[in-house]
Amino acid sequence: MKNFIIAFLIVFLLMFSVSCSKKSSVSENLVIYAYDSFISEWGPGPIVFPLFEEKTGIKTEIVSPGDSGQVLSRLILEAEKPEADIVIGIDNNMAQKAISAGILEKYTSDALSNIDDNLIFDKSGHITPYDYGFFAIIYDSEKISVPPSSLDDLLDRSYSKSIILMDPRTSGPGLGFLLWTVKAYGDDFTEYWKKLSPNILTISEGWDSGYGLFVNGEAPMVLSYTTSPAYHLEYENSEIYKAAVFENGNYMHIEGAAIVKGSKKREEAEKFIDFILSEDFQKELPLTNWMFPVRDIPLPDSYRAALKPEKYLLLDSRTAAENIDSWIKEWLTAVRD
């Protein structure tokens, strides 16, 4: 027991003394903030960061403060004393929040000329897009023979308690689907949600638990991305899960990276932004980040299951940013009744 108290004393003093040392200098490395699934063992991080180091000789330091919302919160918290040089994972819905918070630098890479203009969602020149995808209702083709082909089809009475959605307050796809209905129905979107309610089995807090319910057979339809079936084809050799492509278009999701304001490594940071548009980086995205690369490059074979809708929907990112909070409130009133 004595030893226990003494051990505690030593640990405590050590912690205290370590804690008191002031930071001596800025990091030597290029500091990159990214969301967790990007740096995860199964994400693009372990492949692309070493590749960048090898090609440029620039050492990187990767930090992940959680999901993409938490990455942005941290950057805003650190606005006065920025630690990061690069941020990965600012999407079209959050872009305006980040730009108004004044935490990003402008940079227009030459490589952007290779990219479809529609994908360059930030016209102010701060954020460089690197991949994109489409939200979609994924359905189990063994249980649903005639898939829905529009948002209106989802209201069909036969789909009672058959759809798993995500909460826009806590999940990216959840927010995407809310914006989708706003784009499609305008001010009447709350009416749509009221009619949709009986067909919703549950609204999960995150994509992971929602999709987990779906693959365990709890409901035949779930909100996800059009690329989800490609995963099942690639790793499970199964084409049973399919994406429903809607006649009026699926809502789009674009992710980008930017240089953080206050970065002392402008030159290296620019090299990194150029790198994310290079083929080396782009070709890793389909099977690790499960999104379409922004460059027009050959896709893996399993991507034949990942449909690209001919039409897509997208709200202007400024309009979205200004109204998201009030839309969420209206949505809550509609679904809580």
Among 30, 39, 137, 307, binds other proteins (CB under 8 A): 39
Q: Return the number of the residue (5 or 146) whose C-beta is nearest other proteins.
A: 5
Site for other proteins in 87-126 (CB under 8 A): 94, 97, 101
Per-position x/- string for 50-89, each x denoting binding to other proteins as judged by CB under 8 A, each - no binding: -----------xxxxxxx-xx-xxx-xxx-xx-x------
Alpha helices (H) along 57-154: 68-77, 95-100
Site for other proteins in 210-269 (CB under 8 A): 210-213, 215-219, 228, 231-232, 235-238, 240
Site for other proteins in 152-181 (CB under 8 A): 161, 165, 167-170, 175
Q: Which two tokens stand for residue 85?
A: 């040089």
- Give me the half-sphere count of Cα atoms (radius 13 Å) on the Cβ side of residue 302: 21
| Number of chain residues interacting with other proteins (CB under 8 A) | 89
Q: Are 39 and 32 in contact (CB under 8 A)?
A: no
Using rule CB under 8 A, residue 146 touches other proteins: no
Shortest approach of other proteins to residue 217 CB, angstroms? 4
Q: Return the number of the residue (222 or 277) whose C-beta is nearest other proteins.
A: 222
Q: Return the number of the residue (188 or 208) whose C-beta is nearest other proteins.
A: 208
Q: Return the number of the residue (108 or 333) whose C-beta is nearest other proteins.
A: 333
Q: Classify residue 296 by burial, with Cβ atoms within 10 Å: 0-12, 13-18, 19+.
A: exposed
319: CB partners within 8 A, 6+ apart? none
Q: Are 292 and 230 in contact (CB under 8 A)?
A: no
Distance CA(35)–CA(14), nearest Å, equals 31
The 3-state DSSP class for residue 113 equals: helix
The 3-state DSSP class for residue 106 equals: coil
Q: Return the number of the residue (96 or 282) whose C-beta is nearest other proteins.
A: 96
